[in-house]
Amino acid sequence: MAEPITQCDVDFRVRYSEVDQMGVVHHSRYWVYFEMGRTELLRRQGTAYADLEREGVLLAVVNCSARFRAAAGYDELLTLTTRIGEVRRASITHEYEVRRKADGVLICTGRTTLACIDRDRRVIPLPPAIRHGP
Amino acid sequence: MAEPITQCDVDFRVRYSEVDQMGVVHHSRYWVYFEMGRTELLRRQGTAYADLEREGVLLAVVNCSARFRAAAGYDELLTLTTRIGEVRRASITHEYEVRRKADGVLICTGRTTLACIDRDRRVIPLPPAIRHGP
Amino acid sequence: MAEPITQCDVDFRVRYSEVDQMGVVHHSRYWVYFEMGRTELLRRQGTAYADLEREGVLLAVVNCSARFRAAAGYDELLTLTTRIGEVRRASITHEYEVRRKADGVLICTGRTTLACIDRDRRVIPLPPAIRHGP
Amino acid sequence: MAEPITQCDVDFRVRYSEVDQMGVVHHSRYWVYFEMGRTELLRRQGTAYADLEREGVLLAVVNCSARFRAAAGYDELLTLTTRIGEVRRASITHEYEVRRKADGVLICTGRTTLACIDRDRRVIPLPPAIRHGP
Give residue-wise pLDDT tens across range A72-131: 999 999 999 999 999 999 999 999 999 999 999 999 999 999 999 999 999 999 998 888
Q: Nearest 5°: CA angle at B101, between B99 and B105?
A: 45
Does residue C2 lie within any of the structural domains?
A: no
Q: Please spell the DSSP secondary structure of D70-102, one letter per residue.
A: S---TT-EEEEEEEEEEE-SSEEEEEEEEEETT
Measured between CA atoms, the residue of chain A closest to residue B27 is: A17
Range of the domain at B106: 7-132
pLDDT at C111 over 70: yes
Query: Which subunits count as partners of chain C given 3+ CB pairs below 8 Å?
Result: A, B, D
Radius of gyration of chain A (CA): 16
Q: Looking at residue B133, what is its pLDDT?
A: 60
* Distance of residue B86 Cα from the nearest chain C Cα, in angstroms: 23
DSSP D118: -
Does residue B123 lie within any of the structural domains?
A: yes
Contacts of the segment C32-35: beta carbons below 8 A, 24+ positions apart: C32/A28, C32/B15, C32/B16, C32/B17, C33/C78, C33/C80, C33/C96, C33/C98, C34/C80, C34/C82, C34/C94, C34/C96, C34/C110, C34/C112, C35/A28, C35/B15, C35/B16, C35/B17
Q: What are the residues facing D12 on neighbouring strands?
A: D78
Q: Which has the closest alpha carbon to B17: A66, A26, A13? A: A26
Q: Looking at residue B25, what is its pLDDT?
A: 98
Gap between the Cα atoms of D33 and A13, Å rounded: 12
Q: Which of A1-15, D28-42, D61-75 comes out lowest in average pLDDT?
A: A1-15
Gap between the Cα atoms of C114 and A25, Å rounded: 15
Kindly state the average pLDDT of the residues D14-35: 98
* Distance of residue A88 Cα from the nearest chain D Cα, in angstroms: 24
Q: Looking at residue B2, what is its pLDDT?
A: 66
Does residue B1 lie within any of the structural domains?
A: no
Q: Are A68 and A123 in contact (CB under 8 A)?
A: no
pLDDT at D130 over 90: no
Q: What are the residues facing D66 on neighbouring strands?
A: B64, D110
Q: Looking at residue B1, what is its pLDDT?
A: 55
Kindly state the average pLDDT of the residues C112-116: 98
Does residue D60 lie within any of the structural domains?
A: yes
Gap between the Cα atoms of A98 and A81, Å rounded: 6
Query: Which subunits count as partners of chain B given 3+ CB pairs below 8 Å?
Result: A, C, D
ipTM of the complex: 0.95
Q: B52: helix, coil or strand?
A: helix
pLDDT at C129 over 90: no
Stretches where chain B sits below pLDDT 50 are none
Gap between the Cα atoms of A73 and B21, Å rounded: 10
Q: Looking at residue B10, what is its pLDDT?
A: 98
The H or E element that residue C54 is part of is: helix C49-54
Please report the number of interchain residue pairs, chain A to chain D, with beta-carbon separation below 8 angstroms: 44
Does residue C133 lie within any of the structural domains?
A: no
* Cβ-nearest to A65 among C32, C58, C65: C65
Kindly state the average pLDDT of the residues D35-61: 95
Q: What are the residues facing B99 on neighbouring strands?
A: B79, B106
From residue D59, alpha-carbon distances to A44, D38, D122 in Å are 39, 11, 11
Gap between the Cα atoms of C56 and A27, Å rounded: 20
Which chain D residues are closer than 8 Å to C23 by Cβ? 21
DSSP A5: P
How many structural domains does chain B have?
A: 1
Q: Looking at residue A3, what is its pLDDT?
A: 76
Q: Looking at residue A2, what is its pLDDT?
A: 66
Does residue A133 lie within any of the structural domains?
A: no
Q: Looking at residue D106, what is its pLDDT?
A: 98
Residue A99 maps to which CATH number? 3.10.129.10
Q: Looking at residue C121, what is its pLDDT?
A: 94
Does residue D44 lie within any of the structural domains?
A: yes
Q: Looking at residue B96, what is its pLDDT?
A: 98
Give residue-wise pLDDT tens across range C94-109: 999 999 999 999 999 9
Measured between CA atoms, the residue of chain C closest to residue D21 is: C21
Instruction: Evaluate if pTM is beyond 0.90.
Output: yes
Which chain C residues are closer than 8 Å to B50 by Cβ? 73-75
Phi and psi at A14, nearest 5°, equal: -70, 130
pLDDT band at residue C128, thresholds of 50, 70 and 90? confident
The proportion of chain A whose per-residue pLDDT surpasses 70, expressed as a percent, equals 96
Which chain B residues are closer than 8 Å to C119 by Cβ? none
Give residue-wise pLDDT tens across range B31-68: 999 999 999 999 999 999 999 999 999 999 999 999 99
Q: Looking at residue D1, what is its pLDDT?
A: 55
Gap between the Cα atoms of D77 and D12, Å rounded: 6
Q: Looking at residue D2, what is its pLDDT?
A: 65
Gap between the Cα atoms of A114 and A52, Å rounded: 14
Kindly state the average pLDDT of the residues A19-42: 97
Does residue B62 lie within any of the structural domains?
A: yes
